[in-house]
A and B are shown apart, each in its own frame.
Chain A
Amino acid sequence: MISDSGGGSKIRLIGRRMFILTAAKAVVVFGVVGRLISLQINESKKYKTLSDKNRFREWRFAPPRGVIKDYFGEEIASNQKVFQLHLIPENAENLSALIFRLKNILKMSDNAVSRIQKKIKSQKPWDPVIVSDNLTWAEFSRINLFLHELQGVEPIISVARVYREQSSSHVIGYVSKISKKDLQQKNYLANMKAAGMRVGKTGLENKLDSEIIGNVGHKRYEVNAFGKRIKEVSIDQGKIGKNYKTTLDLELQNLSSNLLKDKAGAICVMDIYRGDIITMVSSPTFDPNKFVHGISTKDWKELISHRDKPLVNKAISGLYPPGSTIKGLVAISALENDVVNTKMVQQCSGSIELYGEKFHCWKKKGHGFVDMRKAIKESCDVYFYEVARRLGIDRLSETARSFGLGDTMVKGFNEEKIGVVPNTKWKKQRIGKSWYLGETLHSGIGQGYWQTTPMQLCLMTARIANGGYDVEPRIVLGEKSKFSLFTEKKKNPKSLEEFFNTEQSKEFDDTTIEFGYKPLFRNQENINFVKDAFFGATNEPGGTSYGSRLSKKEFIFAGKTGTSQVRRITEQQRELEIKNEDLPYEQRDHSLYVAFAPYNEPKYSISVVVEHGGSGSKTAAPIAKKVIKKLLERHPLRQQVHDNYKGEDV
């Protein structure tokens, strides 16, 4: 018999101590309940988010960009199949060994390797890192050969931007990787993060970027703790970027680009009624494809250190004094302001002394007695000194502005420059000095402070050629413009031409203004006079571009040369008659030419600028002649597209 020794007191002690334990238990229960409340009620939202972050993984992919076509449907910027190599860090067994192996197989540089390693660190382990976005076929097949020992690597066939012609590199622009600056400037990029995403940097690629880029697609999976995909939660194919048709003519682009080969300069061609930019070429050009997959340091250095600045779109960003190409505008301004009439005669003896300064004509022995038509035709500087003197700089600048100088005209190109249309106010503001009368004279022949882009000169010529209406350039079909407004109301786009040239337009005109177009003249005869003078300059003996005329009747065009000085000619140099070619390249004159064609029924305007190309008649005019010939040969084709035209949709 085992007795319970101790009896009642012991049992009481046990009871007492048990009471303390029970109290302690209550405290613990409160602790657990409190924690449950805090986790499941107070912070439940936070943990739900964390739980979803665990469960869902999203793989995003970049959509193909829209295609940019020319007026005839030729693709200028399109997409091509590329072989890419993606690496998913979490799938790799031994990441550093894998990278080392890839480095050997692809012969990557240390720089490239450290870039990849940096990228891996910066993102989630399941997000693919693009090891190479454009493998050659040889590299691609080599990778596939070793694939079984390269766990974590995925060879992928993808699409990337490709530019087949370099003639349009400037106007089309290029795409490249998204930079911090892009993210700041383009809000829509915020939800466009995807491996291999490219963004438009310049030209149309930049202008059209928000639409042409498309929408990023994604696949969302539920994954388990080991990264294995359990089920697809949602899939969004994204959206292929919008395609665009432009007003450009790729064949003319190519021809123009070839004509400027080994030269620095630009060619612009425009439809004078619609404002359609048919050609916008800058030289020297570059290979935009290099930017798509990341340009090498060597190539980049070569591009930016090049004397002729290949990356600059000289058609809209190159600034040149217009030289004598402005004389038509000076004449119009003087005639419209009733300062002179066309019959005014001035004697040119090769130079003129005014305000204690000697002003020279390009023709040393002088033009003799000249009237306004002859002054334009033979480009007499002395005559225009006198015209400018009577006109004054402020009235001239006003006319120049109305004809499209001194402002950006092609919408949406960041790189476009506005240039300079000088006047007294401008000088006071920008230079802080008063205007000298002598400067008015220089301005009268397009020298001095003037700064114009080839595109502005082309537009100026178009506005003269169409009878004096303020057409605006356009490059993308379907964009809202004066022309689209016109077609909307009047339906038939062909009637625009009649519209500008019929008798009724002379007296106008509420109708014209209703369609968005505004006449730039008081008396259209003044415009027609200048057009006729341009005809003389090209098609009559003694005209400055007589040597570059086209004699076939329907090809006859009318134009004006320009030779703009980039330096001050000293008296000594004038005496020595130093030839332009003998000067150092940087000091040679720019060669310019503006024209419209055909003369009888004007349809197109053109401007050609060749940097340091010498006189306008020698370099620019012959180039223009070739472009105009091709342009007019292709006119029926273009007309056909016009005629088949149903709305502006691509």
Chain B
Amino acid sequence: MYSTDGGQFAYHTKSHIVRFIIFFILFFIISFIKTSFWYSSATLFYLGVLFLLILVKYVGLTSSGSQRWLDLYFLNLQPSELMKIGLILFLAKYYHKISSGDVNKFRYLGQPLLALLFPVILVVTQPDLGTSFLIAVGGVIVVWLAGVKMKFFAYLGGLFLLSAPVAISFLKPYQKSRILTFLDPSRDPLGAGYQITQSKIAIGSGGLLGKGFLEGSQSYLDYLPEKHTDFIFTLFSEEFGFFGSMAILLIYILITWRIVSIGHTLRTSFGKLYCYSFATAFFIYVAVNMGMVLGLIPIVGAPLPIMSYGGSSMMAIMIGLGIVMSCKIHKDQSLG
């Protein structure tokens, strides 16, 4: 983050550190609160965030063509980021409650489906394809872990594919062009393909050892777009090279592995579902972001957890991690 400001201890750096400290404190507070509190307030949390999402529709701030933020004076809150956690919490609680025999009954499929689709549609129409995708992925993982049969996913997938042409017609032109550009980046090298191309150049030119801290020419000469948010990994790769990138990747794998192993020690379905789902979702956030900047998947607005600049994203991740810690600390207590 310091590097994105061109080596000056300026706005982005300061506020990123301040936020990190604030949210780290939040993380501690959350981790000391009993898991049962999180269990019992899961639905409320979900509904609260859902309410904020609806609120965004009416009083949200608009930036570069999409309405995503709520102005809270000290922070521009992006409720869609919180929804990533909210949905996982809600579904984990839901599947904790019902018995394993009921999981595949039609009666019990409707509610999770609605709980998933409602926020996703809200976010898609902001429009914010990336976040809505990540929210959906988080939700689907919980449902799948809970034991819903493959065939339902197949049905749903088929339905989705059938509705895809209709969905595409609802896509904004820039979203369409992103997908087309992903398929052929040279199609429009100065427009939508520019980001992928420049990101690849930056990462590739970093080489084995990188250009050195604050020496990333692609980044500080502004060839790289959104370098402090979505493309933070690109900047890091350019400056610290292959070894640096591998180190970051390793840290994320470690975090994921830690959450999963915490999940192993838990005895409640809620705890396990939550930890496993959050770990997987966390991993997917990382994978999507890296895949995106590496030119493996289309550019969707997906921040890199913790590293990317953005308060809501960091807040969501910290809350998520906090709940994981809470599960670990209070693992011997019953949810009641």
A37 touches B242 (CB 8 A): yes
User: In whole angstroms, how far apart are the Cα atoms of A1 and B206 in the complex?
Assistant: 57
In the assembled complex, how far is the CB of residue A387 from the closest CB belonging to chain B, in whole angstroms? 82
Which residues of B have CB within 8 Å of A3?
A: 336
Using A40-B241, A225-B223 as known contacts, say yes or no to A35 and B296 having CB atoms under 8 A apart: yes
B272 touches A41 (CB 8 A): no
Report if B217 contacts A (CB, 8 A): yes
A47 touches B336 (CB 8 A): no
A39 touches B203 (CB 8 A): yes
User: In whole angstroms, how far apart are the Cα atoms of A15 and B263 in the complex?
Assistant: 9
B260 touches A18 (CB 8 A): yes
User: In whole angstroms, how far apart are the Cα atoms of A405 and B223 in the complex?
Assistant: 68
B221 touches A230 (CB 8 A): yes
B249 touches A21 (CB 8 A): no
Which residues of A have CB within 8 Å of B296?
A: 31-32, 35
- Pick the contact of A54: B201, B253, B272, B280 (CB < 8 A): B201
Report if A138 contacts B (CB, 8 A): no
- Pick the contact of B205: A31, A35, A47 (CB < 8 A): A47
- Pick the contact of B256: A4, A25, A223 (CB < 8 A): A25
B222 touches A18 (CB 8 A): no
Proximity string of chain B (322-336) to chain A, C-beta cutoff 8 Å, 1 when within and 0 when not: 000000000000111
**Which residue among B204, B221, B276, B280 has the maximum number of chain A CB atoms within 10 Å of its CB?**
B204
Tally of contact residues, A, Cβ under 8 A: 43
B272 touches A11 (CB 8 A): yes
User: In whole angstroms, how far apart are the Cα atoms of A3 and B203 in the complex?
Assistant: 51
Which residues of A have CB within 8 Å of B96?
A: 2, 4-5
A224 touches B222 (CB 8 A): yes
Report if A50 contacts B (CB, 8 A): yes
In the assembled complex, how far is the CB of residue B336 from the closest CB belonging to chain A, in whole angstroms? 4
Q: Which of B119-160 contact A (CB under 8 A)?
A: 141, 144-147
Report if A570 contacts B (CB, 8 A): no
Report if A434 contacts B (CB, 8 A): no
B276 touches A50 (CB 8 A): no
Using A2-B335, A25-B283 as known contacts, say yes or no to A13 and B218 having CB atoms under 8 A apart: no
Report if A184 contacts B (CB, 8 A): no
- Pick the contact of B100: A13, A25, A43 (CB < 8 A): A13
Using A18-B145, A43-B204 as known contacts, say yes or no to A225 and B221 having CB atoms under 8 A apart: yes
Which residues of B have CB within 8 Å of A6?
A: 98-101, 269
Among B65-73, B164-172, B286-294, the stretch in contact with A:
B286-294
Proximity string of chain B (77-99) to chain A, C-beta cutoff 8 Å, 1 when within and 0 when not: 00000000000000000001111
B336 touches A2 (CB 8 A): yes
Which residues of A have CB within 8 Å of B334?
A: 1
B276 touches A21 (CB 8 A): yes
Report if A642 contacts B (CB, 8 A): no
A35 touches B208 (CB 8 A): no
Report if A646 contacts B (CB, 8 A): no
The residue of chain A having its C-beta at the shortest distance from the C-beta of B147 within the complex is A13
The residue of chain A having its C-beta at the shortest distance from the C-beta of B223 within the complex is A225
Proximity string of chain A (73-95) to chain B, C-beta cutoff 8 Å, 1 when within and 0 when not: 00000000000000000000000
Proximity string of chain A (1-41) to chain B, C-beta cutoff 8 Å, 1 when within and 0 when not: 11111100111011101100110010011011101110111
B39 touches A17 (CB 8 A): no
In the assembled complex, how far is the CB of residue A146 from the closest CB belonging to chain B, in whole angstroms? 30
Which residues of B have CB within 8 Å of A343?
A: none
Report if A629 contacts B (CB, 8 A): no
In the assembled complex, how far is the CB of residue B297 from the closest CB belonging to chain A, in whole angstroms? 10
Using A40-B241, A50-B201 as known contacts, say yes or no to A18 and B218 having CB atoms under 8 A apart: no
A224 touches B221 (CB 8 A): yes
In the assembled complex, how far is the CB of residue A255 from the closest CB belonging to chain B, in whole angstroms? 63
The residue of chain B having its C-beta at the shortest distance from the C-beta of A26 within the complex is B253
The residue of chain B having its C-beta at the shortest distance from the C-beta of A37 within the complex is B242
User: In whole angstroms, how far apart are the Cα atoms of A37 and B206 in the complex?
Assistant: 11
Q: Which of B27-43 contact A (CB under 8 A)?
A: 39-40
Using A5-B99, A39-B294, A225-B221 as known contacts, say yes or no to A14 and B241 having CB atoms under 8 A apart: no
User: In whole angstroms, how far apart are the Cα atoms of A1 and B294 in the complex?
Assistant: 49
A36 touches B218 (CB 8 A): no
Which residues of B have CB within 8 Å of A25?
A: 256, 280, 283, 287
The residue of chain B having its C-beta at the shortest distance from the C-beta of A20 within the complex is B144
In the assembled complex, how far is the CB of residue A546 from the closest CB belonging to chain B, in whole angstroms? 83
User: In whole angstroms, how far apart are the Cα atoms of A43 and B269 in the complex?
Assistant: 47
Q: How many inter-chain contacts with C-beta < 8 Å in the A-B complex?
A: 149
Which residues of A have CB within 8 Å of B299?
A: none
A9 touches B242 (CB 8 A): no
Which residues of A have CB within 8 Å of B100?
A: 5-6, 9-10, 13
B39 touches A2 (CB 8 A): yes
Which residues of A have CB within 8 Å of B145?
A: 14, 17-18, 21
Q: Which of A177-227 contact B (CB under 8 A)?
A: 222-226
Report if B313 contacts A (CB, 8 A): no
Using A14-B272, A18-B263 as known contacts, say yes or no to A39 and B146 having CB atoms under 8 A apart: no
- Pick the contact of B237: A4, A10, A31, A40 (CB < 8 A): A40
Which residues of A have CB within 8 Å of B246?
A: 33, 36
In the assembled complex, how far is the CB of residue A297 from the closest CB belonging to chain B, in whole angstroms? 38
Which residues of A have CB within 8 Å of B57?
A: none
Q: Which of B166-211 contact A (CB under 8 A)?
A: 198, 200-208
Which residues of B have CB within 8 Å of A44?
A: 204-208
Which residues of B have CB within 8 Å of A2?
A: 39-40, 96-97, 335-336
In the assembled complex, how far is the CB of residue B90 from the closest CB belonging to chain A, in whole angstroms? 15
Report if A364 contacts B (CB, 8 A): no
In the assembled complex, how far is the CB of residue B105 from the closest CB belonging to chain A, in whole angstroms? 13
User: In whole angstroms, how far apart are the Cα atoms of A458 and B287 in the complex?
Assistant: 87
In the assembled complex, how far is the CB of residue B326 from the closest CB belonging to chain A, in whole angstroms? 17
User: In whole angstroms, how far apart are the Cα atoms of A37 and B237 in the complex?
Assistant: 12
Report if A48 contacts B (CB, 8 A): yes
Which residues of A have CB within 8 Å of B273?
A: 14
Report if B229 contacts A (CB, 8 A): no
User: In whole angstroms, how far apart are the Cα atoms of A186 and B202 in the complex?
Assistant: 39
The residue of chain B having its C-beta at the shortest distance from the C-beta of A35 within the complex is B294
Using A5-B97, A18-B263, A51-B218 as known contacts, say yes or no to A40 and B242 having CB atoms under 8 A apart: yes
B201 touches A21 (CB 8 A): no
A48 touches B217 (CB 8 A): no
User: In whole angstroms, how far apart are the Cα atoms of A5 and B335 in the complex?
Assistant: 12
Using A18-B276, A39-B204 as known contacts, say yes or no to A33 and B335 having CB atoms under 8 A apart: no
B202 touches A51 (CB 8 A): yes
Report if A568 contacts B (CB, 8 A): no
Which residues of B have CB within 8 Å of A239?
A: none
**Which residue among A10, A15, A55, A226 has the maximum number of chain B CB atoms within 10 Å of its CB?**
A10
In the assembled complex, how far is the CB of residue A13 from the closest CB belonging to chain B, in whole angstroms? 5
User: Could you write out 29 A-B pairs with CB less than 8 Å apart?
Assistant: A4-B96, A5-B96, A5-B97, A6-B99, A9-B100, A14-B269, A14-B273, A15-B264, A17-B145, A21-B276, A25-B283, A29-B287, A31-B296, A32-B249, A32-B291, A32-B296, A35-B295, A36-B237, A39-B203, A39-B204, A40-B206, A40-B237, A41-B207, A44-B208, A51-B204, A51-B218, A54-B218, A222-B217, A224-B222
New A-B pairs, 19, CB < 8 Å, besides A21-B280, A39-B200 = A2-B335, A4-B269, A5-B96, A5-B99, A6-B101, A6-B269, A11-B269, A18-B280, A28-B283, A29-B253, A35-B294, A36-B237, A36-B245, A40-B206, A44-B207, A47-B203, A54-B201, A54-B221, A222-B221
Binding site for A on B (CB under 8 A): 39-40, 96-101, 141, 144-147, 198, 200-208, 217-218, 221-223, 237, 241-242, 245-246, 249, 253, 256, 260, 263-264, 267-270, 272-273, 276, 280, 283, 287, 290-291, 294-296, 334-336
Q: Which 5 A-B pairs give the minimum distances between C-beta atoms?
A: A47-B204, A51-B205, A6-B100, A225-B222, A1-B336
